[in-house]
A and B are shown apart, each in its own frame.
Chain A
Amino acid sequence: MNIRNFSIIAHIDHGKSTLADRLLQATNAVSAREAREQLLDSMDLERERGITIKASAVTVMHRHKPGATSDELETDYEAPVDEAGTHKTKNAADKADSHGDLYMLNFIDTPGHVDFTYEVSRALKACEGALLVVDSTQGVQAQTVVNAYLAINENLTIIPVINKIDLPSAQPDKVAQELEQVLGFPAEECIYVSAKTGQGLPELLATICDKLPAPKPSTMPQARGLIFDAVYDDYRGVIVYIRMFDGSIKVGDKIRMMGLGRTFQITDLGKYTPKPNRVPSLSAGETGYMVAAIRTLADVRVGDTVTLDLHPASEPLEGYQPPRQMVFCDFYPATDEEQRGNSFEELREAIEKLSLNDSAFTFQAVHSEALGFGFRCGFLGLLHMDIVQERLEREGGVQVVQTAPTVSYLVTTRGKGGELVEQEIHNPADLPDAGVIEEIKEPICRVDLILPKDKIGDIMKLCMERRGIYKSQTFVSDSREMLSFHIPLAEIIYDFYDKLKGITSGYGTMDYEIIGYEPDRLVKVDILINGDPVQALALITHKDKSEQRGRQILSKLRGQIPRHQFEIPLQAAIGGKIIARETIKAFRKDVTAKCYGGDVSRKRKLLEKQKEGKKRMKNVGSVNIPQEAFMAVLDTSED
C-alpha cells in the first residue's frame, strides 16, 4: 500500500479547514450531503473563531495512476473499497485497479496559531509532507512564513497551494511570486485551487501522491510511535493520536510511554475516515488513534514515544519537551454589585473540567486581598489565554474577572552564602527584595510582521517603543514587506496586536515565536493606594518605562475609584522611591436632582441600595475599590 502522511498549514482564514473538507469529499470519504463545513474542527469555539485548536488525523483512500497528466485525472470515480481499504469482491478489485494504484492518505490537521507551535511541530513530525496554503486574495502573511519555517525545519516536502482562486479579487500569479520571493518555492510549482468549488483538487491529489515521499521503512523491529495529539472524550477517556515509525502495535498490547514511563493496555485502535473506524493494528508509516483507558490528559504528553512494554525500543523518537507556559494571569469569579455571580467552587469545577482536555494550561489557587479567592493560570501565549477564558465562560458557564497578564521571569538572586540561585517567577508579588536580585531575565520573541510598505515607518516606531531590536526586512511584493524584530514578550502581551491592526488598517499580520530569555533592567513597580501597597496591581516593567507605566495605571485608577470623603493619594513606587502620583479628590457632590414626583418609594429604595452597595466594594485600608479597577490596568491606552 502507498502511504502519504501530510499536514495542511496556513495563515488563519486562508482556507485550511475548507481545503481539508474538500479533500475528504474529493476522495469520496465524505459525500457532499454529509460534508459539514470544517469537518475536522470539532469544537464550537474553533468553528466560531475560525481556528483549529486541536489537531485531528483523518485517513482516506485514493486511486491514482502515477505520473498521470492532468487531463487523465479522474474526479468522479467512487472508490469501491470499504473503510479498511479492502475490496468487497475480486471483480471489484480488478475493476478498481484499472483506475490506478491505491493510496492511503493520512492527513493531520494542525492548530492554526503560534501559541500552539509545539503542537504544530509535533503534528509536522508525524508527516513527510505539508501543504502550505495561501489565500490568493491575501497573499503571504506572517503566519504563512512561520509555519513554512516549522515545516522546513522538519525536512518536510512542501507543496505550495494557492487557494480561493474563484474569488474575483484573486491574484494567484502575484501570490506565487510572493512565495518564491519570501520562501524560495518556484512560482511554477504552486498548485492553484479553490477549496470552495473544488477546482484544482484532482491536480492537488495527484501532486500529493506523486511528489510527497512515502514513509521511511522501519529502522528497528521494536515498535515506536509518536504521540502527536491527544483529546479528552467524556465517554472513552483520552484518545491518543499516534504516528507509527517502527514496528507495529495491536489491540490488547501493553504499551509504555517512554517519557512518562507509564504503561497502559490498548483497548481500541482505529482511524478516522473521518468516521471512527476500528483497525486491529497500526504499523510503521501509519497514523491512527489509540484508546487505552487513560483517564486524564495529564497522563499523556504530546511528543512522547509509545513502545511495547514487553519488547521496548531502547531509544525514544527524538524531541519531547513539556509545554512551557509563558503568559500568566489570575482568574477570579466575577460577581455583580449584589454579590451575585459565580462562587470560587464553581470556578474550580470549570477549570478542572477544562484541564481534562487542555493540558497546556496550568492553574493554582491564589488569594488576593482585593479580589478574594481565584486561580493563577499559565498559558502558552496570548491567544491560548483568550481561548481558555472563553471556554471557561462558554463551556464552564462561569463569568471570570481576569487580571493583567504577566510573563514568566527568570530571577537570579544571591543567597546568604554568596551563591547564585535562579528561580522562575510569574507574579510580580513574588519578586524577591530588590537588594538581593542580581539579574532578571525575560522572554524574548522573534516577531515577524508582514505590512503594507507605507506603514513600515509607523510599525518600526511601534516596535522600537516596545524595546524591539530590528533584525531584517524582506521584500514580499511591490506593496508589502516583511519585518523581523526581537521584542520582549512582556511588550506584546497587552495591545501590540491591536496597535498593529490599527496602524495598518487591518492589513498587517504578525506572528511570534519565543526564542529565549535575556536580561534587562527590569524593576518592580508597586502601586500604593492611600499609602497601602496593593499586590494585585504590582507590575514588572523596564526601568526606562516604569514612570510612564506607573502614571498610566494611576490615571486609570483615578477614573475607577470613586471619590471618598477624604482625599486619596495614589502612588507608583520602585522600592521606596515614589515615581508617580495622582490624587483622588474628596467628593463634592452627592445628590440626585429628581425626587421622582410622588414615587417616594423609588427614591427611598435607590438610597437604600446605595447604602448597601457601599459594603460591596473591595476594601484596601479605608479605601473602597471597585472590582473593575483591577481590570483597568489591562488597558494601556493613553488617556
Chain B
Amino acid sequence: MQDHTELRVIRQRPSGTSRPFLGSSPPLESAAARSLYIHIPFCSHKCHYCDFYSIVDTRDRQSRFTKRLIRELRAIAPNAGGLPLRTLFIGGGTPSLLGLDHWEDLLETLRESFDLQEMRTGVGEFTVECNPDTATPELLGLLRCGYVNRVSMGAQSFHAAHLRTLERHHDPESVPRAIESARAAGIGRQSLDLIYAIPGQTLADLDRDLDSALALGTEHLSAYTLTYEPGTAMTARLSRGEFVRAEEDLEADMFEHVARRLSSAGLIRYEVSNFARPGGECRHNMAYWRQDQWLAAGPSASGHFAGHRWKNVPRLDEYLESDDAGFVAIVEHEPPDARRALGEWLMTGVRLAEGLDLDAGLARADEISPTIRADVCRVIERYASSSHLVRIGARIAPTEDGFLIVDRIARDLLRATDAG
C-alpha cells in the first residue's frame, strides 16, 4: 500500500526549505546523477500479481502523458550535470504499449536533453521493458534508432495454464519471436523475466520453463518467486481460497533449483532474483542496489539524489496536472539521513553476490555511533558463523543458504542501525 498521507511537494522542494534538492541549474560534476528511470504507466490489462503503478486502456491520455513527461524530463535534465548518462531504464506498466509517434517524441527529447553518447557506443546501458506481444519489429527498430541497447521481456512462464493463473494474456510463442525481433533490430542485450512458485506449478514445470528460457540464449534472466503483494488481485484470490499457495518447502526447493540450473548454463546469481553471464548484469539495477544516484520521471517513479529519496505522485491525473516549472508533485520524500542511508546500503548490498565492502560499511557506522558499528559487526559475525554470510577479501557476501534468509539478515542489520 502506498502511503498517500504525506502532502505533495512540488518541484522536489521539501517543505520548510527554500532550496530545492533538484534544481534547474546543473550541480557540481561530482554530484551529477548518471542514471535515469522513466515510468510508463499504461497496461492493456492489469496482471493479477503486479503491484506496480499502472492504468488500463488510456490511449486517449497517452498524448497528454507524453507531453507532460517530456516537460518533466527537460526540467530534471540539468541534474545530470551535462555528463553522459551511464544507465537509462524505461519501465512500467507496459512501455511497449506506448504509441510509435509518442516513442519518437520521447526518444528525441532524451537525445536533446541528455548526453546519450555512452548508449550510442554501447558502453552505457539503455533498457526498455517490453511485453512479448506488443514488442513489434517496428517498435524495436525505432528503439534501436534511439540508442536502446537492451530489452527486458516479461515472459513469466512458458506454460499456458500457469500464465492464466497469473492472468497474463500473452501467447508463450510470442516470447521467442520478440527476442528474435530485438536481435534483428540490433538490440544486442536481452533479459527475460520469469515467475515461479505459481499455484499448481511443480518443480518439473519450473524446469521446463528454465529450459525454454535458456534456449533463447539471453545473457540475463530475472526469476522471481511469486510474491503476494497486498492489494493485488492475486492476494485477494488467495484469501478467497481460489487456489493454494505453494508450500514453503517447495518455494525453497525452487529457489535453490533455479540457481543450480542457471549456473550450470553459465548464468550466475548476482542478486537474489537476478542471474547473468559475467558482464551481463543489469547495470541500472546495480546502480539502485549500490545506492548510486538516479533521476526519476513519470508517475510513481522513485528517485535518489543528493541523499534525498522521493517518489513522484503515483496517480496519473495528479501527475498530469501538477506543474512547477516542469517539475511534478512528489510523495514520500525522505531527506538525507546518515542512519537511514546506512540501513539501505546494508539492506540492498546484502542481497548482492558481490556483497558489501565491510571496512567502508563499518567506517560509515562508526561515524554515526560506535554502538551501531558494534551491533552491525555482531550481526555479521553471527551469520558468518552460521555460514549464511561469507568473507571474500575485504567484502562480506551472502552464501546460497544466506540468500534464502536474506530478509532476516537484512532485518537484523536494519535493527542494528537503530541502536545508539
Q: Which residues of A come within 8 Å of B, CB atoms?
A: 563, 585, 587-595, 597-604, 607-608, 610-611
Contact = CB atoms under 8 A, between A and B. Distances in A.
B265 to A, nearest CB: 20
Contact of A593 (B224, B291, B309, B410): B224
A598 B303 contact: yes
A373 B288 CA distance: 47
A399 B348 CA distance: 40
A601 B340 CA distance: 9
A589 B404 contact: yes
Contacts of B332: 601
A607 B332 CA distance: 17
Please give me the 10 A-B residue pairs with the lowest Cβ-Cβ distance, nearest first: A593-B224, A589-B252, A593-B225, A588-B252, A590-B408, A598-B302, A599-B302, A590-B405, A593-B273, A611-B411
B407 A598 contact: no
B338 to A, nearest CB: 14
18 contacts: A587-B248, A588-B405, A589-B405, A591-B255, A591-B405, A593-B224, A593-B225, A593-B227, A593-B273, A594-B273, A595-B289, A597-B52, A598-B296, A601-B334, A602-B302, A608-B414, A610-B411, A611-B411
Contacts of A599: 302, 311
Contacts of A591: 225, 255, 272, 403-407
Contacts of B414: 604, 607-608, 611
B37 interface: yes
Nearest to B255: A589
Nearest to B341: A600
A601 B332 CA distance: 9
Contacts of B347: 600, 603-604, 607
A66 B403 CA distance: 92
Nearest to A599: B302
Nearest to B224: A593
A589 B294 contact: no
A601 B309 contact: yes
A598 B403 CA distance: 20
Contact of A598 (B248, B251, B304, B334): B304
B411 A589 contact: no
B390 to A, nearest CB: 17
A63 B296 CA distance: 86
B302 A611 contact: no
Contacts of B351: 595
A588 B253 CA distance: 9
B407 A600 contact: no
Contacts of B61: none
B78 interface: no
Contacts of A589: 248, 251-252, 255, 404-405
B249 interface: yes
Given A597-B285, A598-B304, A601-B302, 11 more contacts: A587-B248, A590-B404, A590-B407, A591-B406, A593-B225, A598-B296, A598-B301, A599-B311, A600-B344, A600-B348, A601-B311
A587 B252 CA distance: 10
A628 to B, nearest CB: 13
B128 to A, nearest CB: 14
A593 B225 CA distance: 6
A610 B411 CA distance: 8
A598 B344 CA distance: 12
A604 B311 CA distance: 14
Given A588-B248, A591-B272, A598 B288 contact: yes
B343 interface: yes
Contacts of B255: 589, 591
Contacts of A585: 249
Q: Which one of A585, A587, A589, A607 has the highest number of Cβ atoms from chain B below 10 Å of its Cβ?
A: A589
A592 B302 contact: no
Contacts of A587: 248, 405
Query: Among A592, A594, A600, A604, which residue has the most Cβ atoms of chain B within 10 A?
Result: A600
Given A591-B405, A601-B302, A607 B91 contact: no
Contacts of B407: 590-592, 607, 610
A389 to B, nearest CB: 22
Contacts of B311: 599, 601
A590 B251 CA distance: 10
A594 B309 contact: no
Nearest to A609: B411
Interface string B376-420: 000000000000000000000000000111111011001100000
A563 B408 CA distance: 13
A611 B408 CA distance: 9
A563 B252 CA distance: 13
Interface centre among A598, A603, A607, A608 (most CB of B within 10 A): A598
A605 B411 CA distance: 10
